[in-house]
Amino acid sequence: MKQEQKREKRFWKTLIITQATILLILAILTIYGYIEDSFLIVFATITIATLVIMYYLEKTSNNDKKYINEVYWKKRYILLGIMAGFFVSFFGPVLIVFIVRTLGRPNPALAEGFPMVWITLWIIGPIIGGIAGYLIGKKRKYQPIGRAL
């Protein structure tokens, strides 16, 4: 098996294991009541949709690996940035609520306006993540991710 195929296989295995771990953590947080069921459903839907889109882009890309299309890698960097933005915008408020509740303070998730902050983060986080992914890809000249690291 070629080195690039091994790297690609390792990338997909790592990505799937990471996403499954995140979903498992979210399920545990849902069971213990730290987050609502709707957030778990939204995050799982977004995660699965993003993985399907990335897999589709992978399979429809140029088969000749020597001449990988720059547009393909641009999309991949942006999608990874969006996924990172969703991750940060989801776990940021969850971590804040967990820390505050651990310190014995009132739950900020019940405070007026906190749900609006959460929704705003869900909109702004992926946008900033996409821009960051684009800029990182541009800095690395849109090289395949295995070679860029």
Q: Read off the pLDDT of residues 106-138 as tens digits, 9 standing for 90 and up.
A: 776 666 666 677 777 778 888 888 899 889 888
Q: How far apart are CA 82 and CA 125, in angstroms?
A: 8
- Residue 148's pLDDT band, with cuts at 50, 70 and 90, is very low
Share of the chain above pLDDT 70, in %: 80
Global pTM reads: 0.50
The C-alpha torsion from 54 through 40 and 100 to 109, rounded to 10°, is: 120
**33: its two tokens:** 């009541």
Mean pLDDT of 92-101: 79
Give the pLDDT score at 130: 87
Give the pLDDT score at 62: 55
Give the pLDDT score at 91: 81
Instruction: For 82-128, give the DSSP string.
Output: HHHHHHHHHHHHHHHHHHHHHTTPPPGGGSTTHHHHHHHHHHHHHHH
Q: How far apart are CA 130 and CA 79, in angstroms?
A: 7
Q: How far apart are CA 15 and CA 21, in angstroms?
A: 10
**Count of structural domains, the chain:** 1
Q: Are 70 and 77 in contact (CB under 8 A)?
A: no
Range of the structural domain that residue 30 is part of: 3-148
Q: How far apart are CA 64 and CA 20, in angstroms?
A: 31
Mean pLDDT of 72-91: 84
For residue range 30-52, what is the model confidence (pLDDT) as tens digits? 888 888 888 788 788 888 877 77
